[in-house]
Each structure stands twice: as C-alpha cells, then as structure tokens.
Amino acid sequence: MTTNKYYDRLVEIHAQYPELTLVPRRAYEYLSREIQDNHKEQIEEVTEILRNTVAGFSEFNNFKPGKDGDIVIRCQYRWTSMFTGVGYFSLESFKNFKEESDEEE
C-alpha cells in the first residue's frame, strides 16, 4: 500500500513552523538550542516519521531550502554499519511512500 500521510504531515509541519528551516551559513550549523527547546513536540514528530521511513535514521537536524525551490530534510543516518553521516531527503521522496500492510500477511 502507498500513502502520502508522511509527505502531507511533513509539508504541514514545515509550513507551520518556519523556525525549523535553516539555511546554513557554514558547515556543521544546527538549529539553536532555543528553537530545539521551543519545538520539542514538532521535532519529535518529524523524528518519528523519519524513523519509519529512512533506513538507519538517527537524528533530525532541520528543514532546508533545496534546489529549484523544493524543501529537503537534513538528518543524520547510518550510511554503513560503521559510519553515520548527514543525508538530505527531498520532501517529494515521501510521496507515495510504500508501507507494508497488515492485510498482506
């Protein structure tokens, strides 16, 4: 079964909480502690979505403007069993997400 529920919710969170969008001016720049503290609930919701959709996911960093006006999610995930690094995932990649269905069992 495919779903847009993750995409729809991520788009909604991005629109409602622009503070979670960061345009880094330098490498290794992250959301401020104040923003993280003020948006714990939203960050946890995005974290839960990413746990369900990104293999090896470990930490949400922020939303970021991408090329051609799209929005990407910047997060940390396990590239290999020995390396965790940054990844960028377009919100578009969460459209038509294939979920395993209980009905298929």
Structurally, the chain folds into a number of domains equal to: 1
Which tokens hold the place of 39?
């948006």
Q: What is the value of pTM for the model shown? A: 0.89
Which of 91, 102, 96 is closest to 2 using CA atoms?
96
| pLDDT confidence of residue 101 | 63
Q: Which two tokens stand for residue 84?
A: 């965790």
Confidence (pLDDT) at 22 = 94
- The structure tokens 């995005």 sit at 46
What 66-69 contacts at long range (C-beta under 8 Å, 24+ apart), as own/partner pairs, is 66/90
- Please, are residues 57 and 75 in contact by the beta-carbon 8 Å criterion? yes
* 54, 77 contact by CB (below 8 A): yes
Task: Write out the residue range of the structural domain in which residue 92 sits.
Answer: 2-104
50 φ/ψ angles, rounded to the nearest 5 degrees: -70, -35
Q: What are the helix and strand counts (H, E) for the chain?
A: 3, 5
The per-residue pLDDT for range 26-81, each reduced to its tens digit, is: 778 999 999 999 999 999 999 999 999 999 999 999 999 988 889 999 999 999 98
